[in-house]
Amino acid sequence: MHTTILMISSAALMAVIGLAASFMPQEVLGLHGTVPDNATVLFVQMAGAVYLGFAMLNWMARGILIGGIYARPVAAGNFLHFTMVAVTLIKAAMAFRAVPLMISAAVFSIFAIWFGLVMFRPPLPRA
């Protein structure tokens, strides 16, 4: 499976999330109905740094062959991340019935499935 589009789109998504969480943590927390206290703001900023790191990893890996045994750590890390976040968002969306949570759960689920296909199938030859 040709993975350039996957890697670029996941890098873009994570960069947007990472920049927002790193530089606007109070606004991110307020958007989700959470009162921003010092510990929560710090946690959101740290999570933003993780997202920026993952975005950089995916951006730099956009041109390499990924799938099967090739670049398996990159595929496994992304698969685990997107799957765990999707499960968490699905659980929250079912509990709170919030449309933004449902949309986020759908986006993360799509990436989880896509990275799952990349991880558990051999790569397609390049055209």
pLDDT in tens, 54-97: 999 999 999 998 988 889 999 999 999 999 999 999 999 999 88
What gap in Å lies between CA 16 and CA 85, rounded to an integer? 16
Residue 104 covered by a domain: yes
Residues in Cβ contact with 53 at an 8 Å cutoff, skipping those fewer than 6 apart: 18
Tell me, yes or no, whether 126 lies in a domain.
Answer: no
Contact status, residue 84 vs residue 112, Cβ threshold 8 Å: no
How many domains does the chain contain in total?
1
Percent of the chain with pLDDT over 90: 79
Q: Which domain holds residue 104?
A: 4-120
Global pTM reads 0.91
91 within some domain: yes
Domain membership of residue 65 (yes or no) is: yes
Tell whether 37 is covered by a domain: yes
Tokens 């920049």 identify what position? 19
DSSP state of 63: T
Residue 60 phi/psi, 5-degree rounding, is -75, -20
127 occurs within a structural domain? no
